[in-house]
Chain A
């Protein structure tokens, strides 16, 4: 079931001569329970896209639904059914309220029934290791902890769709890992769909089921990391080091696209392939016939490589 199904999103800012189109007809399709990553450079249109999908921004043109609500006509219903974490930890966190008071306030704003308020707060505080700061003023906790508080605030109410705009931007590696685990756990337990933007490509690679890369308001690539690798895979490399007869090496050169480097008694064979996974066994089989393999290395295409490639 599609949680987000939008076609042809266009959005521009400014008037007349100063008009600038930020989104040039973007399609977004996200399934329930997916963790969907949105990658793009600064100014690519990520935040605008999130705001359009969350019903905060009226697009110039768009067709389709978010959580079954029409994006043009039922933005108020969309807004009431989604959560959002802004990229700055201080947003929605009141410095002179304690951590618990902050969450209590937002629980009421989100309309959580009185009986369930304490339970919801305890649950998110435990999951995000905030319990020990319960009675500390928000101004006295670190920026990283405040970011966790901001995430806890957004996850107080279990909406089916949560937008995260760079949720781990200010966190150290350990805290970022905790947030990622929490996101995956929530998805697994409650089937919540997460739509997140991030600058950390490794993060997207680690937890996102699918990613979309946008540049200058246009979709450059969309799919799982594996699918993107297959689509954009050229330039991957298999390196085999071994002892071979020089004539046999010549034969390999005729069979494969290979670069040969002689290192003393040994040869280093660099095979350029489109996809390591597809070719590696065939290459090993054919090399084995001509000598002794001492070492094999592969250089696979990372999401980072793909990102650089499509956003050039």
Chain B
């Protein structure tokens, strides 16, 4: 119970910090919008040449890309949250203070994750509403809302778990700043192979196994089928997507939590939690 309160406190601090730098949030939202709009225009430009490839997804490339990019932005943010938070606290010399508390570092990271989840979910809803009601991209809404939420939560769980695996490299591989190789590789593979910008069917059969190894492939496939085609969980493809995504989410969370714990004990035994010489 106390730990839960502490997690909420960390999230609360981040919320309070918004008061001092409110413009940062606004700018971040604008940046998110720009990214989605850039892909919107790319899709709009490409649309005329490419409708055949998207028959399976309602034949609409603009909806396909816009929705993929919105989901990708959130999942990518969750993937990077644990490492970024750890790195920030380390370099700002806060981590050592957290480490003096029982499970303090974990609590801090969970608090940051909670805050990012709330923030990104809010911005994501903003994007979705903008594109549905203002830009008028073809999407089925709000009937698909509950199903989409379930897929979103599963993707979030996976991303946080994978993010924790990445964060453990902070101590395992001593990657203290810059790019963390695990999350970076995962991000790159997702962009290339998960069908984010183009359908997986574009790849030759021999390459598709990479896509099938990525949980994001299943998540993006499911959200498109749900949001563009109006499919439900009873649809065979969506069902497979959800089952595989759930398995990935559970595994990544278990592995992530275990590895992160081990990484912290390694830090206690070796380099510690501070950069001070």
Residues of A at under 8 Å CB distance from B?
Answer: 139-143
Contacts and interface: CB of A to CB of B under 8 A. Distances in A.
Nearest to A138: B277
Interface string B262-277: 0000000000000001
A141 B277 CA distance: 7
Contacts, number: 5
A248 to B, nearest CB: 66
A13 B277 CA distance: 36
Nearest to B275: A139
Nearest to B276: A143
B270 to A, nearest CB: 16
B153 to A, nearest CB: 42
Contacts of A142: 277
Nearest to B277: A142
Interface string B237-277: 00000000000000000000000000000000000000001
A140 B277 CA distance: 7
A27 to B, nearest CB: 41
A143 B275 CA distance: 12
A143 B276 CA distance: 9
Interface string B143-178: 000000000000000000000000000000000000
Nearest to A146: B277
A139 B277 CA distance: 7
A139 B176 CA distance: 14
Contacts of A141: 277
> Nearest 4 A-B pairs (CB), nearest first?
A142-B277, A143-B277, A139-B277, A140-B277
Nearest to A140: B277
Contacts of B277: 139-143
5 contacts: A139-B277, A140-B277, A141-B277, A142-B277, A143-B277
Contacts of A139: 277
B275 to A, nearest CB: 8
A143 B277 CA distance: 7
A142 B277 CA distance: 6
Nearest to A139: B277
B142 to A, nearest CB: 51
B258 to A, nearest CB: 32
A139 B274 CA distance: 13
A232 B185 CA distance: 72
B201 to A, nearest CB: 47
B165 to A, nearest CB: 27
B85 to A, nearest CB: 22
A37 to B, nearest CB: 30
A109 B277 CA distance: 27
B161 to A, nearest CB: 33
A4 to B, nearest CB: 36
A142 B276 CA distance: 9
Nearest to A141: B277
A222 to B, nearest CB: 39
A186 to B, nearest CB: 28
A140 B271 CA distance: 13
Contacts of A140: 277
A49 to B, nearest CB: 30
A98 B277 CA distance: 15
A292 to B, nearest CB: 61
A3 to B, nearest CB: 37
